[in-house]
Amino acid sequence: MKWEAYEELGSYVRQRRKEFDQITEDRKKQLSRLAKAIGQDLDLECSADLIFICTHNSRRSHMGQLWALVAAYEYEIIGIRSFSGGTEATAFNPRAVQALLKAGMDIEQRDEASNPEYLVYLPGHEDGIRVFSKRYEDPPNPTNKFIAVMTCSAADEACPVVTGASSRHTITYEDPKDFDGTPEETKAYDERSEQIAREMIYLFSLI
């Protein structure tokens, strides 16, 4: 079966597929434009590179990167490569990691550095995806002919031009960081993961 080794993740994906009516029409138009750009790259190159960009590459951009890969697997879209980066490097926030673990992703922390590296195991990526905070132009990210997806308004405003990008799309999300240290912290991260998953799954349903 498709999700046999990732039953919890598969269940999470199926639930998000039932929630497309929660996406506003304006948002669907933005996602449709991004889907068209991805489809054009797949038609021309048989592949498409995405870089999800936010200021610190700590929360929303990582979620976008990983949920895009899950969504591509769900719809059996071959040739999608997904990355993330920031205008500066910090660390993949452990609260975001916990939200993704709760959703059913298999994530292994590899070291205890201030900017630790993680391996994320997803269906279709059983060797693991290296995940750590980096600037959008840093390795292993592609440096040209990629689609830039701006996931936060600060990075969107700071980078009116993303060097090397073939197209640039603004799909911003509210920062769960605003709830750090409050009773609403866990709920905020879970809701952001759900929203990004829902919208990436909707996006790839259009391709």
Which CATH number fits the domain that encloses residue 30?
3.40.50.2300
Residue 181 has pLDDT above 80, yes or no: yes
Percent of the chain at pLDDT above 90? 91
Residue 51 is predicted with a pLDDT of 98
φ, ψ of residue 48 in degrees (nearest 5): -150, 130
Q: Is 39 helix (H, G, I), strand (E, B) or coil?
A: helix
Residue 160 is predicted with a pLDDT of 73
Residue 6 has pLDDT above 70, yes or no: yes
Q: Which residues share a beta bridge with 81?
A: 49
Residue 156 has pLDDT above 70, yes or no: no
Provide the angle, in degrees to the nearest 10, between the axes of the packed helices 7-17 and 185-205. 70
Residue 100 has pLDDT above 80, yes or no: yes
**Integer Cα distance of 71 and 69 in angstroms:** 5
157 — pLDDT class (breaks 50, 70, 90) = confident
φ, ψ of residue 79 in degrees (nearest 5): 100, 5
Residue 1 has pLDDT above 80, yes or no: no
Report the mean per-residue pLDDT for the chain: 95
Residue 132 has pLDDT above 90, yes or no: yes
Residue 103 has pLDDT above 80, yes or no: yes
11 — pLDDT class (breaks 50, 70, 90) = very high
Residue 42 has pLDDT above 90, yes or no: yes
Range of the domain at 98: 4-205
Lookup: tokens for 88: 């500066």
Angle at 14 between CA 74 and CA 75, to 5 degrees: 15
Residue 152 is predicted with a pLDDT of 86
Residue range 39-64: average pLDDT?
A: 96
The amino acid that residue 56 corresponds to is: H
pTM of the model: 0.97
> How would you label 28-56 residue by residue, b for 16+ Cβ within 10 Å and e otherwise?
bebbeebbebbeebbeeeeebbbbbbbbb
As for how many domains the chain has, the answer is 1
Residue range 95-112: average pLDDT?
A: 97
Least confident of 45-49, 76-80, 154-158: 154-158
Q: Is 95 helix (H, G, I), strand (E, B) or coil?
A: helix
